[in-house]
Structure 1
Amino acid sequence: LHALEDYSVSAAGGFTQPIDPDLVPSVTNYLSIFGAVGMTAYFGFLEVCEPKEGETVLVSGAAGAVGSLVGQLAKIVGCRVIGIAGGPEKCAKLTEKYGYDAAIDYRGKDEAALTAAIAEAAPNGVDVIFENVGGIILDAGLMNLNLYARVGLCGLISEYNTEPRGIRNLWQLIVKRAQIRGLLVSDYVERFGEGAAKMGQWAAAGKLNIEEHIDEGLENTFESFMRLFAGTNQGKMILKII
């Protein structure tokens, strides 16, 4: 979390890069599709998860800033995509706006119900999981893995303010000869230009929908931050302070 301030002095390089506001519809796009969010989706999904055309992809936190982009990238490379999100409004947005093939509402479901819902949406199993949530959602996904599946571990937001429960179905990685790999976007900083160029091409071609949730006013800092944990934001959460 960076400081909320009018001006900053930073060393050039790494995450700090000059921007050209004339190249994008809104300068805030540099905080979403062309920033860490977009690069996490691009490199985390395409390089860590190594999706193949025709495979089935499961995305948790699918209506969030990263998850919504991952689902769209999966469609671009020819995958079938299932998203998990909270509430009927977000689930409808997955299929109607982001192109997901199916959406699962996790609210009100225990691990067994989630496992069954994933099996119904993916009767032939899951080849790739892009995980943003963890907890029972990850365990339910693991119970639906295909042989040699890949799990990209981007986040565990369900466990950030609780005692970690651990992965209870870890044995599925053995049975299915699957692999799980953590990812940090900072590993790809030197390649951000490459990722931004591709994301820009797809966005210009109408293949990517970009959504940003912008709150205004420094006084709304706490409320805006807590939206991330309550799941009430739509897309990238941005606080405009000036």
Structure 2
Amino acid sequence: MVSGAAGAVGSVVGQIARIHGCRVIGVAGGPEKCRTIVDEFGCDVAIDYKSENLRDALRKHAPDGVDVYFDNVGGKTLDSVLTRLARGARIVICGSMSQYNATERPPGPANYMALLAARASMTGMVVFDYEDRYPQASAELARWLKDGRLRSREHIVEGGVRAFPETLLKLFSGENTGKLILALGNG
């Protein structure tokens, strides 16, 4: 399972999981993004966090629980997934998009004791920790792109440096699908 499945990181994580034979449940916001993560990025199931109850959807789509959760958003999504863990589940914390603009300190996960009950683990992941494996990853990703197993989508905003503030805000409002890029050539 991957949250932020229509974003730059989540879309690639879901595709890599699928390439390795996993059944992938993606969480995204809105019907268009949910269609994209299934039709373009290959998720088996899309859950629209804006219109669906995540816990109910997980009961339906992961009746035996979630084995691996790649978390890009934190907050209520993480709390919901914690209630649906399979025994020995692993959670990878990569981001916390839901909390980046919080005006007050957000509470920690309310359902963290589910980690104990499921004998699960939760760990942080920062890409820089794997710098020694960049050449291997680059070669594998390039091969998957070339043979069509991996798709890349870019949301390019024109406008140069002057457009930076508005472009950055697109990340937090969920306006982009795929990698958000600011073109610097025009400004």
TM-score normalised according to structure 2 size: 0.94
Give the distance between the partners of 1:177 and 1:125, measured in 2 at CA: 13
Aligned-residue sequence identity (percent) comes to 48
Alignment of 1:78-227 (within 5 A): 78-109=21-52, 113-162=53-102, 163-218=105-160, 219-227=162-170
Q: Deviations along 1:118-157, whole A, 9 cap, x unmatched?
A: 1111122110000000111001111111000000000001
Asked whether 1:71 is paired with 2:14, we answer yes
Shift of 1:108: 4.3
Does structure 1 conserve the Cα–Cα contact (< 8 Å) formed by 2:14 and 2:26? yes
CA contact (8 A) 2:30 2:51 kept: no
SS at the partner of 1:80? coil
| 1:89 Cα deviation after fit | 0.3
Alignment correspondent of 1:19:
none
Residue type of the alignment partner of 1:143: T
Q: Gaps (5+ residues) in structure 1? A: 1-57
Compute the TM-score of the two structures, normalised by the length of structure 1: 0.73
Q: How far apart are 1:223 and its partner, in Å?
A: 1.3
Superposed counterparts of 1:2-13, under 5 Å: none
CA–CA separation in structure 2 for the residues paired with 1:232 and 1:121: 26
1:70 shift after superposition: 0.7
2:181 alignment counterpart: 238
Indicate the RMSD between aligned Cα atoms, in angstroms.
Answer: 1.0
> CA separation in 1, counterparts of 2:65 and 2:119?
14
2:11 is aligned with what amino acid?
S
Query: What is the alpha-carbon distance in structure 2 between the residues aligned to residue 184 and residue 97 of structure 1?
Result: 26
What amino acid sits opposite 1:120 in the alignment?
A: K
| Count of equivalent residues | 182
For residue 91 of structure 2, give the secondary structure of its aligned residue in structure 1. strand
Residue in 2 aligned with 1:15? Answer: none
**Which of 1 and 2 has greater Rg?**
1
SS of equivalent residue, structure 1 residue 116? helix
